[in-house]
Amino acid sequence: MEHIWKQIDTYAKQWIKQAGTLIKQSFSKELLIQAKSNPNDLVTNMDREVERFLVGKIRETFPSHHIIGEEGFGEDLESKEGVIWVIDPIDGTMNFVHQQRNFAISIGVFENGIGRIGLIYDVMHDELYHAFKGHGAFMNDIELPKLEPVQVKEAVIGLNSTWVTPNKRIDKEVLTPLVRDVRGTRSYGSAAIEMAYVAAGRLDAYITMRLSPWDFAGGKVIVEEVGGTTTTLDGAPLDILTKSSVLIANPILHSEILNNYVKRDQ
């Protein structure tokens, strides 16, 4: 591993753990909760504080790197050139507010659009999912095995209940047959945790209609490192500058879902 990437990796792991500590400490203080685009789109002072903390560390240590962050402390980028950190300070803010669990900090570090490092830290379970492209994926430093092929009838899949596409086409007609055919469905309310669960074999696939780059950047690197396929519901690669639908699974299940279910009415 090149020296600079080893350094980035070490710092990223250290900072994400420190950010987790900041969140845990916040439970004894008052939480300020606001709505963003709609009454269910929540943001708290901790989402902002954690992003400010991570952005501060990155800028201080790697001033030439670029940053995309959900809460606006990063940049508005139009190019994927150079090193870009894609940060979601709290993924699953609704869970954070309502349950004080089932949320994660997600970081993906990309070089010229290629994912090099992915980190997802499930703070309350103290589970750090981490991958370095070409060097393996880990959960708390235990290497995750490559994904095994699973068929639809034996699959447990993560689904987001908001089955509405950006053009307002409700996809229940497309997804109902899939829900009927799989062994079970789960919905955890944090895209990052759901992607980490696919990487760890706790879920066999994850499907959602619309995510932002900060929701999937870390998970994309981790899932790909265990041999999973990550695309949009049209089968296109995920782009770290573009919002999109997401379908991730082991390659066999991914093509079975894509060919036999998702595209059924297209």
120 binds ligand IPD (CB under 6 A): no
For residue 157, which of 6, 261, 28 has the smallest C-alpha distance?
Answer: 261
Q: Which of 88, 122, 225, 256 binds ligand IPD (CB under 6 A)?
A: 88
Q: Which does 190 bind (CB under 5 to 8 A by kind): ligand IPD, Ca ion, none?
A: ligand IPD
**Residue number with CB closer to ligand IPD (5 or 188):** 188
For residue 118, which of 93, 89, 87, 75 has the smallest C-alpha distance?
Answer: 87
Supply the Cα-derived Rg of the chain in whole angstroms. Answer: 18
Q: Which does 152 bind (CB under 5 to 8 A by kind): ligand IPD, Ca ion, none?
A: none
Q: How far apart are CA 195 and CA 193, in angstroms?
A: 5
For residue 91, which of 233, 240, 228, 219 has the smallest C-alpha distance?
Answer: 219
Taking the complex as a whole, how short is the minimal distance between the CB of residue 194 and ligand IPD, in angstroms?
7
Name the site residues for Ca ion (rule: CB under 5 A): 70, 88, 90-91, 215
* Binding segment (CB under 6 A) for ligand IPD, from list 7-15, 86-94, 128-136, 234-242: 86-94
Q: Which of 44, 51, 93, 220 binds ligand IPD (CB under 6 A)?
A: 93
218 binds ligand IPD (CB under 6 A): no
Those residues whose C-beta lies under 8 Å from the C-beta of residue 175, and which sit 6 or more positions away, are 159, 163, 207, 261, 262
Q: Identify the active-site residue in 91, 122, 194, 204.
A: 91
Other residues' Cβ atoms within 10 Å of the Cβ of residue 72: 10
Q: How far apart are CA 239 and CA 214, in angstroms?
A: 11
Whether 70 is catalytic:
yes
Q: Identify the active-site residue in 8, 51, 93, 117.
A: 93
Binding site for ligand IPD (CB under 6 A): 88, 91-93, 160, 189-191, 208, 211, 215
